[in-house]
Amino acid sequence: MKIAIFGGSFDPPHKGHESIVNEALKTLDIETLFVVPTYLNPFKDSFVADERTRL
């Protein structure tokens, strides 16, 4: 089984993230793609979106 993992802070999630997922599913030879939210982006001092929005 071929899988892909897309990690990011998704803070906030946006159409660009969705576009990356859709393009990966269309073009890569994978069966499953996992979207894994990380904690805090190392280049940001605080969160923009709350946890529920990010998930």
Let me know if residue 22 belongs to a domain.
yes
Split into its structural domains, the chain has a count of 1
Read off the pLDDT of residues 24-53 as tens digits, 9 standing for 90 and up.
999 999 999 999 988 877 777 777 777 777
| Cβ atoms of 13 and 50 closer than 8 Å | no
Let me know if residue 51 belongs to a domain.
no
Structural domain boundaries enclosing 32: 3-41
Whether the model clears a pTM of 0.75, i.e. scores above it, the answer is no
pLDDT value at position 54? Answer: 67
Let me know if residue 21 belongs to a domain.
yes
Let me know if residue 46 belongs to a domain.
no
Collapsing DSSP to helix, strand or coil, 23 comes out as helix
Let me know if residue 53 belongs to a domain.
no
Let me know if residue 49 belongs to a domain.
no
